[in-house]
Chain A
Amino acid sequence: MTRKEFLQTVSGVAGLAAAMPNMAFADAVKKGPKRGVSVYSYGNEFGVSATLEDCLAEISDLGTPGQLMGVEILANGHVEGYPNPSDAWVEKWHEMCRRYEILPVELGHWIDSKLYVEGPEGLLDTQESVAKLVDDIKLGHRLGFTRGRTKLGMLDNDGMPTRNWREIVKAALPVAEKNNFRMLTEFHFPTPLKGRVMDEYLDFITKEKCTPWFGINVDFSVFQTKGGFMGMGKGHGRPDAGARRWAMPAMPVSQPEDIIPILPYVHCCHAKFNDVNRDCEDQTIPYPQVVKILVDHEWDGYLLSEYEGADKVTGGAWPAVRRQHVLLKRLLGEA
């Protein structure tokens, strides 16, 4: 086959491992929770003082010999020429992944329900939503991703998706399966893991029998016990319009053990964090408890760092993600 055909049939782990003959397949992807980074963490510097390649080089510094670092990129943030990157750019992407020992894990992409209006009337119709979703699934496959952080349009601020969400996702399921791409809806503060939003998603997953092609991404902000959002909110004292909206409640919305019953449907996690100190201990999210649950239950997937600390916008992301990965290495027995 031609080089182009090879790259187009490469999919996730198998293709990447095949392209790296010196790394045994078993070593390249071990079972259990594994480490990675979302390039979203470096959003302050991306496009200004860091290219995508710089971000991959940084992530490569966090690795463990013999293992691949997982990565998330944002479809319309980091893919040059989105929605249709050139073949040359896609080849360069795969070449960079090989060179920096990176495994593409999750593509962040959005269903822009407010494409033409604010709503709730006139939100994007099902047909156009499905068309864009299908394009993103195929793009994800082309880039080697096996998961999407599929951001559904929202009906409210409690995390309930738009009324046509079931039709949209159901129409895309065959394409997802064909492209080895798991569409994952994200659970994020302030939506709890137990409640009507989770019930809505589990009802669909059960009725459609669509595991793993539609599932859950758990963002660890749901376990956050204190602090605010990027320096705003309770305890940070910034007089800010954001303070009310982003104030953390006295108790977290979810306990670590709330993740246990949904683990069969969780195919990726966002290792959200906003404050890891110089001793590499997380100050606002119970990482030891959460990671222990994932290890004990032999959850097989990637923890992709998402940094949202107050100093993200003043250059703090680079050392913060490094400190978090020292913590994760310790919790996963790699240090």
Chain B
Amino acid sequence: MLEMPAVQQRGFRNVYRNGQCIGFQIAYRSTYYRGIWLSLSKGFSVLVDGEQFPREAITVTIGGKTYTQDEMTRIGNVQWQKTEPAILTIAKPGGLKLGVHQVTVNWSHRTSYMGPDPSAPKQTGPAEVDGPGASGIAGAFGGGNCTRELVLVR
């Protein structure tokens, strides 16, 4: 079962490869009322304890497959199911320290039942701690910022 906020506590941990800590992961639940084709995602932005991570540092694992954010923009036949969190893996040599962290994830997507708006940003903006929210009504229709304090134990 998933927690109500978009940013999940469960899944928050450092990531190791070949014995090295190469970064950390965050599980993110879409609060949008339906799933999306991967290419509709405008991307994830991550801010932890004041550190903004570049788009290229974040990969996205959905349905057991891992994609760069760039690859996702071209995949129009794979669904991100509503009931499955996206696992964001954020590259950061050494990972995060054990303990409490302030985590903000921002996300947005395109909606085809609103008329085209060429002035709309093509990608999700940077994550902002007090940015327009992903909870409640805004989240039900398309993402936004979700800030939570999460505890990292491994």
Contact = CB atoms under 8 A, between A and B. Distances in A.
Interface stretch (B54-62, B77-85, B90-98, B146-154): B77-85
B115 interface: yes
A114 B111 contact: yes
Contact of B115 (A77, A111, A157, A230): A157
Interface stretch (B18-26, B35-43, B45-53, B99-107): B35-43
Interface in A77-122: 77-78, 80-83, 108, 110-120
A118 B113 contact: no
Given A74-B33, A231-B137, A241 B132 contact: yes
A151 B4 CA distance: 28
Contact of A82 (B35, B74, B137): B35
Contact of A157 (B34, B114, B122): B114
A281 B87 CA distance: 44
A60 B117 CA distance: 42
A154 interface: yes
B118 interface: yes
Nearest to B139: A313
A201 interface: no
In the A-B complex, the 8 residue pairs with the closest CB atoms = A119-B116, A77-B34, A156-B115, A43-B33, A76-B35, A114-B110, A120-B116, A313-B136
Contact of A155 (B29, B36, B115, B139): B115
Contacts of B113: 110, 151-154
Interface in A124-144: 128
A313 B137 CA distance: 6
Range of interface residues on B (Cβ < 8 Å): 35 or more
Contacts of B118: 118-120
A46 interface: yes
A157 B118 CA distance: 13
Nearest to A315: B4
Contacts of A83: 79
A44 interface: yes
Contacts of B114: 154, 157
Contacts of A77: 33-35, 82
Interface residues of A, number: 46
Contact of A151 (B110, B112, B138): B112
B130 interface: no
Nearest to A232: B137
B36 A40 contact: no
Interface string A156-173: 111000000000000000
Given A114-B116, A242-B138, 6 more contacts: A110-B113, A114-B112, A115-B40, A118-B116, A158-B115, A241-B132
Nearest to A76: B35
A114 B111 CA distance: 7
B73 interface: yes
Contacts of B4: 48-49
B67 to A, nearest CB: 15
Contacts of B34: 74, 76-77, 108, 110
B80 to A, nearest CB: 9
Contacts of A119: 116, 118
Contacts of A314: 136
A158 to B, nearest CB: 8
